[in-house]
Amino acid sequence: MSGDTLVIYEEEITRIDALLTRMLKGAEAKCALLVDKDGHLITRQGFTHSLDTTALAALLAGAFASTKEIARLVGEPEFSVLFHQGKKDHIHMSIVGERSILVVIFDDRTTIGMVRLYAKETSQELAKIFEQILSKPESENKAGISGDFAALANDRLDDIFQD
Amino acid sequence: MVSINYSSREVCCKIVFYGPGLSGKTTNLQYVHSKVPHNSRGKLISLATEADRTLYFDFLPINIGSINGFTAKFQLYTVPGQVYYNATRKLVLRGVDGIVFVADSQVDKMDENIESLLNLEDNLVEYGYSIEEIPVVIQYNKRDLPNVLSVEQLNGQLNKRGWPTFEASATIGNGVFDTLKLIIKLVLDKAKSTGTSRMKPVSASASFERPGDSQKLAVINPHESGRVPVEASHSASGRVAVEPAAIAGPIASTGSPYRPYPGSEPSAPVVRPAPAVTGEPARSYEAQVTPTAAPAVHGQANEEITNRGHSPQMAPSLKRRVEPKKRGFFKRLFGIK
């Protein structure tokens, strides 16, 4: 539907993960998620195993989308940083390039200032990586959904979707 | 857009249930949630008002297992149907791959159906999408009620583009799965026919994990095969080509093609015969199911978002502050070393 294509190669993901890990160590945060604005999780680092990252990605993307709409209504292009403060855990969200959101979850062992500082720096570096990704010529992505994938999926659906 | 994760071999699609208020979009998702095996679906998240009207969206992830080495995942969303929630309704359409238009078959609801359909087209246009390019299925819901229009009348008003239609009664489940199966088929057919111009291979990290499975904290999750260098070989073009045997580590070695979602209830694993797909070894899920995988909230027909407290499994600070030990007062006083 949207015509933009984003192809992320393994080497870029390795670089992104390294950046996120460095940010987590520097800011002493718990975990970081990189979420696509459509609600898909791109990558994650840190202690995310107790989190439902699928739902979290969808909700965070929703929160960011609604905030962007609020920004538009008050005459701003968008709010680039979003912060949720809780009793123990807090969430810092910042925009990365055109289409991704960097989410950092942290607690009182660090401060919002530290997280903001590191997240800003990391966002800029991530944005550079995404620029490189987008500037790469589109390669021959012919694998994926091919052949009898849809037919096999249909058979599987019959099995799962039983009244 | 259809998201294809080449590293962890996942295909993820976004399907939106659209339609006027009280036409049964959330009920569709609730029925799917209640009938699909727990290890094939995640939690149903409803962002609703106190009166159970959808405020932002409902979200239900479905995982139909591995097909040709790719795990197929579908994210089902509903929109708020009420007219004055258009701002949030539009946001849900971002990146949509397929639309189920849930129409209310009752005679007095026709105007609302038409208004909602026009609103759908307008909202898609605002994103630069064309309704002609997106797979759409119409579901004529509430067929069990007495005062309903005939399918011909509904088609005449709502289906000028000749979309596939289904009659349904979402409360009892009639037609719900038929609608869902068809939209999934259309989305996959569309993704296949459009090639990769709208596909997005991303990293391995979007794989699902079970809450509480803290044993994997220290080790690389073998499911994230893209992160395991020995299992992945770089092709000449630089993309990681993952061998079928290396796909989805724990899944590949187990008996069920299904991997449970976070938040799904733990229970006896459903052992299903492995599909005869070339390159996929027989699999079983027993080895992966442990009592510790039990989530805090069990799946119910309409689960709310739970406020996850600070888990004791959350790791301590990454950097320990070690302070030098102070000598005792009396030792310092008397100069004892």
Q: Are B104 and B112 in contact (CB under 8 A)?
A: yes
Q: How far apart are CA B78 and CA B80, in angstroms?
A: 7
Determine whether B80 is exposed, middle or buried from the number of CB atoms within 10 Å of its CB (0-12, 13-18, 19+). Answer: buried
Residues of chain A with Cβ-Cβ distance to B127 below 8 Å are 1-2
Q: What is the pLDDT of residue B335?
A: 72
pLDDT in tens, B154-173: 999 999 999 999 999 999 99
In a domain, B176, yes or no: yes
CB distance from B199 to chain A under 8 Å? yes
Going by pLDDT thresholds of 50, 70 and 90, the confidence category of residue A22 is: very high
Q: What is the pLDDT of residue A145?
A: 61
Residues of chain A with Cβ-Cβ distance to B208 below 8 Å are 53-54
Residues of chain A with Cβ-Cβ distance to B184 below 8 Å are 153-154, 157
Smallest CA–CA distance, residue B2 to chain A, in Å, is 9
| Tally of CB atoms within 10 A around B333 | 8
CB distance from B208 to chain A under 8 Å? yes
CB burial readout A79-117, b (16+ within 10 A) else e: beebeeeeeebbbbbbbbbebbbbbbbbbeebeeeebbe
Q: What is the pLDDT of residue B234?
A: 38
Q: How far apart are CA B332 and CA A21, in angstroms?
A: 43
Kindly tell me the number of DSSP H helices and DSSP E strands found in chain A. 4, 5
Q: Are A74 and B241 in contact (CB under 8 A)?
A: no
| Interchain CB distance below 8 Å, B239 and A25 | no
Q: What is the pLDDT of residue B275?
A: 44
Angle of the B176-193 helix axis to the B25-35 helix axis, nearest 10: 90
How many Cβ pairs closer than 8 A exist between chain A and B?
249
Number of domain units in chain B: 1
- B190-B251-B289-B229 Cα dihedral, nearest 10 degrees: -120
CATH number for the domain spanning A132: value is 3.30.450.30
**Where do we find the tokens 């979009």?**
B25
Low-confidence residues in chain B, pLDDT < 70? 1, 5-8, 194-327, 329-330, 336-337
In a domain, A1, yes or no: no
CB distance from B68 to chain A under 8 Å? yes
Residues of chain B with Cβ-Cβ distance to A143 below 8 Å are 6
Q: Which amino acid is at B257?
A: P
Which residue of chain A is at minimal alpha-carbon distance from B39?
A160
Q: How far apart are CA B150 and CA B134, in angstroms?
A: 26
CA-closest candidate to residue B13, choices B129, B98, B139 = B98
Q: What is the CA radius of gyration of chain B?
A: 25
Give the closest of B47, B134, B305 to A1, CB-based: B134
DSSP code of residue B104: E
Task: Give the range of the structural domain holding residue B97, as residue numbers without chain letter.
Answer: 3-193
Q: How far apart are CA B74 and CA B184, in angstroms?
A: 8
Q: What are phi and psi of B270, to 5 degrees?
A: -85, 115
CATH number for the domain spanning B128: value is 3.40.50.300
- A41-A46-A48-A54 Cα dihedral, nearest 10 degrees: 0
| Interchain CB distance below 8 Å, B213 and A49 | yes
In a domain, A127, yes or no: yes
Q: What is the pLDDT of residue B50?
A: 82
Q: What is the pLDDT of residue B172?
A: 94
pLDDT in tens, B31-87: 999 999 999 999 999 998 888 898 899 999 999 888 888 888 899 999 999 988 998
pLDDT in tens, A75-85: 998 899 999 99
Alpha-carbon distances, residue B239 vs A8, A108, B64, B69, B100 (angstroms): 9, 40, 26, 17, 35
Task: Give the range of the structural domain holding residue A19, as residue numbers without chain letter.
Answer: 10-160
Which residue of chain A is at minimal alpha-carbon distance from B312?
A50
CB distance from B177 to chain A under 8 Å? yes
Determine whether B270 is exposed, middle or buried from the number of CB atoms within 10 Å of its CB (0-12, 13-18, 19+). Answer: middle
| Interchain CB distance below 8 Å, B314 and A50 | yes
**Predicted ipTM?**
0.82
Q: What is the pLDDT of residue B321?
A: 53
pLDDT in tens, A115-155: 999 999 999 999 998 888 777 765 544 445 666 777 888 88
Q: How far apart are CA B204 and CA B196, in angstroms?
A: 18
Alpha-carbon distances, residue B20 vs B86, B248, B313 (angstroms): 11, 40, 44
Q: What are phi and psi of A34, to 5 degrees?
A: -110, 115
Number of domain units in chain A: 1
Smallest CA–CA distance, residue B114 to chain A, in Å, is 23
Q: How far apart are CA A58 and CA A37, in angstroms?
A: 9
Residues 42-61 of B with CB under 8 A from A: 42-43, 45, 47, 56-57, 59, 61
Residues of chain A with Cβ-Cβ distance to B319 below 8 Å are 25, 28
Return the structure tokens found at B323. 């302070």
In a domain, A4, yes or no: no
CB distance from B272 to chain A under 8 Å? yes
In a domain, A3, yes or no: no
| DSSP-based three-state secondary structure for B63 | strand
In a domain, B268, yes or no: no
| Interchain CB distance below 8 Å, A25 and B87 | no
Give the closest of A38, A49, A160 to B216, CB-based: A49
